[in-house]
Amino acid sequence: EPEVTQTPSHQVTQMGQEVILRCVPISNHLYFYWYRQILGQKVEFLVSFYNNEISEKSEIFDDQFSVERPDGSNFTLKIRSTKLEDSAMYFCASSVGRGETDTQYFGPGTRLTVL
Amino acid sequence: DAKTTQPNSMESNEEEPVHLPCNHSTISGTDYIHWYRQLPSQGPEYVIHGLTSNVNNRMASLAIAEDRKSSTLILHRATLRDAAVYYCILRDSGAGSYQLTFGKGTKLSVIP
């Protein structure tokens, strides 16, 4: 069964450094998402991406964040200058469509630790 | 998205049926009811969804109240692998929003 993959599984970085989290969505999916989950808290939506542009973003997704689909398979989340509060699990997801019945398939996550 | 209310936690014995409730009293006519779950240290996973009628799939059943103000996710025989946080999420066909809005969910513990 196709699945969403994410690399790395764990990223440790120093405050102020840039990080890039990588995702490979399911191959025939057209919509891509990033969510994050701070330890012990809810899963929070960050951004959705379709047709090479952001289609929706949350208040969390400020100028420090950017997303890109650099080639036909990868989908990346860049955090320009990491802060301590960016420490969280970051989940990538993808879906065929964006309708109310479309399932979002999530990857296993990247644990980001900012020191 | 309309708000949902779920118990914080539930327990079940292994191989027993589990009924996970969700209240959504402000649901609109176009809201679909989705259930996702999150196993420990994993990403969320789709379980089932429905609009008005009860639904069955290989993972679970979804029972939707006639007035749609509540629903119940039914796991017919809980296994240890079903220990997870279960999220009840409403998705509005007319809202134009892409995101899933997760609440705190119900943490299901399965006792061997």
Q: How many angstroms separate the most distant Cα atoms in chain A?
A: 40
Nearest CA in chain B to A49: B98
Q: What is the 3-state secondary structure (H, E, C) of B16-65?
A: CCEEEEEECCCCCCCEEEEEEEECCCCCCEEEEEECCCCEECCCCEEEEC
pLDDT for the residue numbered B94: 64
Contact A105 B46 (CB under 8 A): yes
Grade residue A90 by pLDDT with cuts at 50, 70 and 90: very high
Contacts (Cβ under 8 Å, ≥6 apart) of B10? B18, B20, B106, B107, B108, B109
Cα separation, B63 vs B29, whole angstroms: 17
Summarised one tens digit per residue, pLDDT across range B57-105 is: 999 999 999 999 999 999 999 999 999 999 999 987 666 777 899 999 9
Mark which residues 70-89 of A lie under 8 Å from B by CB. none
The tokens describing B94, both together, are 């007319």
Summarised one tens digit per residue, pLDDT across range B30-64 is: 899 999 999 999 999 999 999 999 999 999 999 99
